[in-house]
Amino acid sequence: MTSQVESPTSPVEESDADALFSPPEFEPEPGLNGTPVRWYDADRTEPYTRIAPFQERHDTSVEFFYKPITLTALGFGLAALAYVAMTQDVLEEGRDKRRVGAYAAVVSFLMFSMIQFRDGPFIRPHPAFWRAILGINLLYELALVFLLFQDLNSARQMMTLLDPSLNRPLPEKSYAEFCELTPQNIWGAIDIFCLAHALGWFGKAMVLRDYWFCWILSIAFEFAEYSLQHQLANFAECWWDHWILDVLVCNWLGTYLGMKTCQYLEVKPYEWRGLRQTRGLRSKARRVLSQFSPHDWTAFKWEGTASCLHYFIVVLLLAVFLAAELNPFYLKSLLWMEPDHPIVILRLAGVFLCALPAVRELYLYINNPKARRMGQHVWLLLATILTELLVITKWSKGQFTEPFPRHIQWAWTIGGILLVLYPTFRFGVPSIRRYVGKQKRKGKGKGKKLR
């Protein structure tokens, strides 16, 4: 038999207990009275359209790593800078210190990013990691803006500051040779880039989390290669290289494994315990490793035909992904870089890491009625891809003199018309009919009142 003892210093009234433990009387629902609000009848003065302030989400299972240490980090950072800058053992006199100074400036900026930038949608392994990714994206965007104001020869010369072996013309390589469908030709076409294809599509599946989206993007990229092979020789491939080796083997394998991983993460139970609550060395080691896995998982359902906004967002995302895929081919061709150059690989890896939180923010933007602006990751990544396009457009003048073939122009024109006609008849015409019907009903109501 147990007895309940009340504390004389903090008595609990019955009404207070009811207030603490009773559920709230009103639970807010998205939309207007739980009904989704369409774009044509939304009232922007209503409270359901107001934006909620950004909130930092902390992983309570590792509370120690979320304690503010801004002043401590500042002290250690300044001490490291002072040691590197003033110790003669590290930097001997007479050596070129410009490179070390640039590296120190980059590290200082990334340190500021990790401490002061706003949190993104991910909290694993730590929000500071994704703040640093955002800082890297911003540095890359600033570098692109700087290169946008340089001519191509100056840019090639500047790249030698990063790698002295650059600024040398490279021979153009075409894959449209020996196109007979034989086992020998297919085996000869298999190289390290097949593995790169599969890994790339594994990453795209992890970013997009949608089978249909990945398949559409895969086929669209092959059509883009057909359209641009008169400019870049390495886009010219045998038909079986396009559709069998790329689409049906490498792209499918990467997409399949990526989507299987997404499905596993979707059904996986997420119950986190702190390191102190975990017993045993093996369990603690497993808990440390799990810190580098997702804290939770959101399955994406893009539903491009659900509404006009969804359609245009999906088409925009498809166009941005295509541009992000094509840009490195043009940049490495214009700057005379090999496909396996570390700068090219770092660019691909960086865009992948930036796309993970960016696409998550975009999905939240189009599916959360309270969101009225895009997140910082998606905004900056979109600016980066568009700036790359501006740089390529400027540097391409005089480099690709052969005009677009007539059949390519007609194909893209017809494709653009279809992309516009579909939402017109799918969303525009029904909206106009509803609007006209609403106006007619209002007119009839006014006529009855006048009688």
Asked whether residue 72 is domain-assigned, the answer is yes
Domain match, 254 and 389 both: yes
- Tell whether 253 and 338 lie within a shared domain: yes
Identify whether residues 393 and 428 lie together within a single domain: no
Per-residue pLDDT at 175: 79
The pLDDT of residue 21 is 42
Within-domain flag for 93: yes
The per-residue pLDDT for range 335-367, each reduced to its tens digit, is 999 988 999 999 999 999 999 999 999 998 888
Half-sphere exposure of 106 (CA within 13 A, CB side): 14
Which one has a higher pLDDT value, 371 or 243? 243
> Residue 237: helix, strand or coil by DSSP?
strand
CB atoms closer than 10 angstroms to residue 360: 20
Same domain for 248 and 365? yes
What's the confidence (pLDDT) of residue 434? 84
How far apart are the C-alpha atoms of 304 and 306, rounded to whole Å?
6
Q: What's the domain range around 112?
A: 66-116
| pLDDT interval class at 371 (50, 70, 90) | confident
Amino acid letter for position 152: L
Query: Does the reported pTM lie above 0.85?
Result: no
Sign of CA dihedral 414, 333, 255, 299: negative
**What is the C-alpha to C-alpha distance for residues 372 and 199, in angstroms, rounded to an integer?**
34
**Structural domain contains residue 73:** yes
Q: Are residues 262 and 323 in the same domain?
A: yes
Q: Which of 116, 131, 150 is the last residue of a domain?
A: 116
Give the chain's length. 451
My answer on whether 396 and 313 are in the same domain is yes
What are the tokens at 287? Answer: 């808990």
* Cα(301)–Cα(239) distance, integer angstroms: 33
Residue 12 has pLDDT above 60, yes or no: no
Distance of CA 253 to the CA centre of its chain: 22
Judgement on whether residues 347 and 198 belong to the same structural domain of the protein? yes
Residue 364 lies in a domain: yes
Same domain, 182 and 247: yes
3-state SS class at 35: strand
> Are residues 335 and 249 part of one domain?
yes
Assess whether 180 and 103 both reside in one domain.
no
**What is the amino acid identity at position 269?**
P
Q: Are residues 203 and 347 in the same domain?
A: yes
Does any domain span residue 38? no
pLDDT in tens, 46-92: 444 443 434 445 555 555 556 677 888 888 888 888 888 787 555 56
**Is the CB of residue 441 less than 8 Å from the CB of residue 433?**
no
Residue 398 lies in a domain: yes
Torsion of CA 306, 312, 314, 319, to 10 degrees: 160
State the Cα–Cα distance between residues 39 and 25, nearest whole angstrom. Answer: 30
Q: Are residues 397 and 409 in the same domain?
A: no
> Is residue 311 a contact partner of residue 305, using CB atoms and an 8 Å limit?
yes
Please check whether residue 98 lies inside any domain of the structure.
Answer: yes
Does residue 42 fall inside a structural domain?
A: no
- Mean pLDDT on 143-164: 94
Instruction: Count the domains in the chain.
Output: 3
